[in-house]
Amino acid sequence: MDSAHRTTLTRFLIEERRHHPHAVGDFNNLLLNVALVCKRIARLAAHGALAGGSEQAGAVNVQGEVQQALDVLANDIFLRAHEVGGQVAGMVSEELEAPYPIARHQRGRYLLVFDPLDGSSNVDVNLSVGSIFSVLRAPDDACDGELERNLHGNPEDELPVEAFLQPGMQQVAAGYAIYGPSTMLVLTVGTGTHGFTLCPNLGEFMLTHPHMQIAPDTQEFAINASNSRFWERPIKRYVDECLAGRSGEREKDFNMRWIASLVAEAHRILMRGGVFMYPRDQRDPARPGRLRLLYEANPIAFVVEQAGGRASTGLMPVLQVPPTSIHQRVPLIFGSANEVARLERYHAEPADSHHATPLFAERSLFRAQA
Ligand code: MN
Ligand code: MN
């Protein structure tokens, strides 16, 4: 339990700053603010049913106030902590239809995009939940100083939605907090992925997992198999090959995992490898995946790639997807680099490829006989 010799998040950020002599202090303050938010949410989540779980959302308490679900409380904590700090020019949250407006005189240089409580249905069953965040640069004309110089600007202008529609490769920081048996903050500022554990005695995040690395190979995959009848062929082929185990194409046995919480899945993969898939499927062509690009896929992809892993839609790197709306959904595949590369290969192969799965081999055999 000795934390005395460990690096705190604050010290880590100060040391990171030395690599970026032109950086302004706002950036570190923003990340320390995010860390404080995560500590608050961790405390709230730790109260479990004592605080009134999400099943009581909408109920009226003794003071006549409407009790709020943890997602809504977590969202409020994020908004309140950043609306007056002067570091952000705007915020996008899973919980809000439109970007959250920041008073013009308080606008900073960054945009903060977040999922305040990921996997919130896990709260009621006391399983891990988390928060996910992504930091982008605000467009030059969005922050305070530039606006004052722009005499034609309307001081009541809200930041346009387009400001947030930046591909993930433009993120300057991203990460998540996981509220599990211990609370951890996993963070990248583009110099590797680093894990901090919240010391319950000091209330400080301490660097416990510097330079996290995802092993390039794995024998573990995670997918919601109840959707298998909707999967497209490359996913079906990949999973069939994993299930065939030692006697199949892959010549090794695989394990399957599914927690149904993106943060928990990502964290397990960062700690011991694996591949996660929430692919596009054939249910609804208008819905090209389930997870949201800006505040789920992009931050997780940044963290994963900075740890030597890979993140893809199957057809292209997640970090290159041009966003078209703030709540856009994408197919998401990430984890051990060689497995994700294999899935990308399967997506790239033409449908009548010779590299067929046992399933499709049967079909071609059938066709040959017909
Ligand atoms: Mn989520
Ligand atoms: Mn959420």
Q: In angstroms, what is the span from residue 368 Cα to ligand 1's centroid?
A: 46
Question: Do 168 and 249 sit in the same domain of this protein?
Answer: no
Tokens 């965040």 found at: 133
Question: Do 280 and 202 sit in the same domain of this protein?
Answer: no
Ligand nearest to the CA of 93: 2
Main-chain phi, psi angles of 252, to 5 degrees: -155, 155
pLDDT at 60: 57
Q: In angstroms, what is the span from residue 350 Cα to ligand 2's centroid?
A: 36
Ligand nearest to the CA of 116: 2
Residue 214 in domain: no
Residue 215 in domain: no
DSSP three-state, residue 35: helix
Q: In angstroms, what is the span from residue 129 Cα to ligand 2's centroid?
A: 9
Q: In angstroms, what is the span from residue 116 Cα to ligand 1's centroid?
A: 8
Tokens 């009541």 found at: 156
Q: In angstroms, what is the span from residue 297 Cα to ligand 2's centroid?
A: 13
Question: CATH number for the domain including 294?
Answer: 3.40.190.80
Q: Which of 177, 209, 241 corresponds to the end of one domain?
A: 209
The rounded distance, in Å, linking the Cα atoms of 26 and 110 is 9
Question: Do 195 and 226 sit in the same domain of this protein?
Answer: no
The answer to whether the beta carbons of residues 9 and 35 sit under 8 Å apart is: yes
Residue-level length of the chain: 370
Residue 295 in domain: yes
Q: In angstroms, what is the span from residue 145 Cα to ligand 1's centroid?
A: 34
CA dist list (Å): 170 to 24, 36, 204: 18, 24, 29
Residue 370 in domain: no
Q: What is the dihedral of CA 95, 98, 100, 103, to 10 degrees?
A: -160
Question: Do 235 and 293 sit in the same domain of this protein?
Answer: yes
pTM of the model: 0.89
Q: Which of 179, 209, 239 corresponds to the end of one domain?
A: 209
Q: In angstroms, what is the span from residue 302 Cα to ligand 2's centroid?
A: 19
pLDDT at 190: 96
Q: In angstroms, what is the span from residue 87 Cα to ligand 1's centroid?
A: 24
The rounded distance, in Å, linking the Cα atoms of 123 and 284 is 29
Q: In angstroms, what is the span from residue 34 Cα to ligand 1's centroid?
A: 17
Question: Do 198 and 291 sit in the same domain of this protein?
Answer: no
Q: In angstroms, what is the span from residue 160 Cα to ligand 2's centroid?
A: 23
Ligand nearest to the CA of 292: 1
Q: In angstroms, what is the span from residue 306 Cα to ligand 2's centroid?
A: 23
Question: CATH number for the domain including 134?
Answer: 3.30.540.10
Ligand nearest to the CA of 295: 1
pLDDT at 29: 95
- Domain count within the chain: 2
DSSP three-state, residue 152: coil
pLDDT at 10: 96
The one-digit pLDDT tens for each residue of the chain (370 residues) are 566 789 999 999 999 988 877 777 799 999 999 999 999 999 999 988 887 544 555 555 555 556 578 999 999 999 999 998 899 999 999 999 999 999 888 899 999 999 999 998 888 899 999 999 999 999 987 655 444 444 444 545 678 999 999 999 999 999 999 999 999 999 999 999 999 999 999 999 999 999 999 999 999 999 999 999 999 999 999 999 999 999 999 999 999 999 989 999 999 999 999 999 999 988 888 888 999 999 999 999 999 999 999 999 999 999 999 999 999 999 999 999 999 999 999 999 987 665 544 444 444 443 433 3
Q: In angstroms, what is the span from residue 154 Cα to ligand 1's centroid?
A: 35
Residue 12 in domain: yes
pLDDT at 124: 85
Question: Do 91 and 240 sit in the same domain of this protein?
Answer: no
Q: In angstroms, what is the span from residue 362 Cα to ligand 1's centroid?
A: 39
Ligand nearest to the CA of 71: 2
Ligand nearest to the CA of 123: 2
Q: Name the residue range of residue 123's domain.
A: 3-209
The rounded distance, in Å, linking the Cα atoms of 303 and 211 is 11
224-233 contacts at long range (C-beta below 8 A, 24 or more positions apart): 224/258, 224/260, 224/278, 225/256, 225/258, 227/281, 227/283, 230/281, 230/282, 230/283, 231/279, 231/281, 231/282, 232/279, 232/280, 232/281, 232/282, 233/346, 233/351, 233/360
Q: In angstroms, what is the span from residue 295 Cα to ligand 2's centroid?
A: 9
Q: In angstroms, what is the span from residue 119 Cα to ligand 1's centroid?
A: 6
pLDDT at 22: 76
Max alpha carbon distance in the chain (Å)? 77
Q: In angstroms, what is the span from residue 222 Cα to ligand 1's centroid?
A: 16
Instruction: Specify burial of residue 60 (Cβ count, 10 A radius: 0-12, 13-18, 19+).
Output: exposed
End-to-end CA distance of the chain: 69
Q: Which residues does 350 contact at the CB level (< 8 Å), separation at least 6?
A: none
Question: Do 344 and 299 sit in the same domain of this protein?
Answer: yes
Question: Do 286 and 199 sit in the same domain of this protein?
Answer: no
